Homo-oligomer: A and B are copies of this chain.
């Protein structure tokens, strides 16, 4: 089982009364304003469940009691399964799971510069993620612009399955893609019924904020829920643009969007695994970009995670995000401004946990190893300060005496490897030794490290029969898709 055990007690950034006010505002939005689902299957499901639907506007009005009843059906924790149980991840409880960057159109590395993503980059990112222990779940993903868009989702997942023994992030952005991905994973795991109660895929469902889901998203959600796969419901709230500028309203609106889609998933299949997702941030009013690594985003993570906790739903929030174009000081600061609220908020699942740059437009090989190093600090932090006779070491203090030193003590040798965290990239050398090497900053060192790590990659074994079945499936689907296009 991969993932960290988060030993921090979650911080409630909203006082209890404020949390209650946000909840009530959410219910008022759901009841009086409703949410638009531009999808007939979804509207039918809601109608059959007894909800009032405005057909012309495709708007669903949610009775608060129904919302509360449905979201209670969602599990508060579940396991996402891998071929090897060692790569399973627990979502919920005190588990904290990091997945790599997903979605950028561009890739960048120090030598090659910024360019359109290709299958080669995609596969190299998967390989790099595979050798990084702290990438607990999922494969990185970039847009492979050298592949035809109609069947791109086939190639990406097929290569992920071949190259990675960790778990996959699926594609739930249309019924077609969702079904294809579910079919492919069914082949890998021996049939759809084998994965129905043992989820193996996660799909990101983004609302079209404010208060609207388009047909592709609703369809993907329905397919995933029906197949027992995980929907990560993530409204993309950019306060000031897709929600009111004030954080309280942004959280309430996000909450309404999130809960309405969770209600849909639980209506499709009671007990369907979902995550309460948040990507809440503010708009940078001077450039029109979503602003990451800011205090608003930190507060967004904390308050979103608190609302998820209220409803006993596993929480996806934040990400190790930055607007910086390079892994520079700004990137380091902004990413840590996202990471700490994740730890403090009791967030369970973090997408874009490594490799993200430039507001999500670019996946960076150097950022992947730099961010991994950031996450590698966490196990030592979570281990805390154990206090007992051995760690208090009063006999060692007495033995060394005033003015001595502890370097040669057996107690030091016994404990230093577990007491201290040893970074791979961060340096503590003397200035002179460092300068002699050509004064490399951590970005330059990361440029060397990712290549060294990539060289250690070994492809996991895939059963040839599964491989053949996958290839057959993809060939058939390709023909079908081409036929439809004609």
Name A residues whose Cβ lies closer than 8 Å to a Cβ of B. Answer: 8-9, 11, 13-14, 17-18, 21-22, 25, 28-29, 32-36, 57, 59, 106, 114, 208, 210-212, 239-249, 251-253, 282-287, 289, 291, 293-296, 298-299, 303, 323-337, 340, 344, 358-359, 361-362, 370, 373-374, 377-378, 380-381, 384-388, 390-394, 396-398, 400-407, 409, 411-412, 415-416, 419-423, 425-431, 434-435, 439, 441-443, 446
Contacts and interface: CB of A to CB of B under 8 A. Distances in A.
Contact of A329 (B285, B370, B411): B370
Given A244-B412, A387-B248, A210 B401 contact: yes
A349 to B, nearest CB: 21
Given A210-B401, A420-B240, A411 B245 contact: yes
Contacts of A324: 426-427, 441-442
Nearest to A404: B210
Contacts of A241: 405-407
A444 to B, nearest CB: 9
B394 A29 contact: yes
Contact of A426 (B323, B336, B428): B323
Contacts of A422: 285-286
Given A287-B428, A404-B210, A425-B330, A299 B394 contact: no
Contact of A332 (B294, B329, B361, B362): B329
A380 B239 CA distance: 15
Contacts of A402: 33-36, 57, 59, 210-212
B243 A29 contact: no
Nearest to A12: B9
Contact of A428 (B57, B248, B359, B446): B359
Given A336-B333, A397-B253, A419-B247, A426 B293 contact: yes
A309 to B, nearest CB: 15
A81 to B, nearest CB: 31
B240 A385 contact: no
B391 A210 contact: no
For A295, A380, A409, A421, which residue has the most chain B Cβ atoms within 10 angstroms?
A: A295
Given A17-B387, A329-B443, 12 more contacts: A33-B397, A33-B398, A211-B402, A243-B397, A246-B393, A289-B428, A295-B381, A295-B421, A299-B381, A327-B329, A330-B425, A330-B427
Nearest to A290: B428
A392 B303 CA distance: 14
Given A244-B412, A299-B381, A407-B241, A336 B332 contact: yes
A249 B444 CA distance: 38
- Quick one: copies of this chain in the complex? 2
Contacts of A106: 431
Contacts of A340: 336, 340
A247 B391 CA distance: 7
A294 B424 CA distance: 12
Contacts of A32: 398
A330 B449 CA distance: 14
A282 B385 CA distance: 13
Nearest to A214: B403
A325 B251 contact: no
Contacts of A9: 11
The 5 closest A-B pairs by CB, nearest first: A332-B332, A336-B336, A295-B381, A330-B442, A248-B391
Q: Which of A59, A249, A251, A334 has the most CB of B within 10 A?
A: A249
Contacts of A11: 8-9, 11
Contacts of A442: 324, 328-331
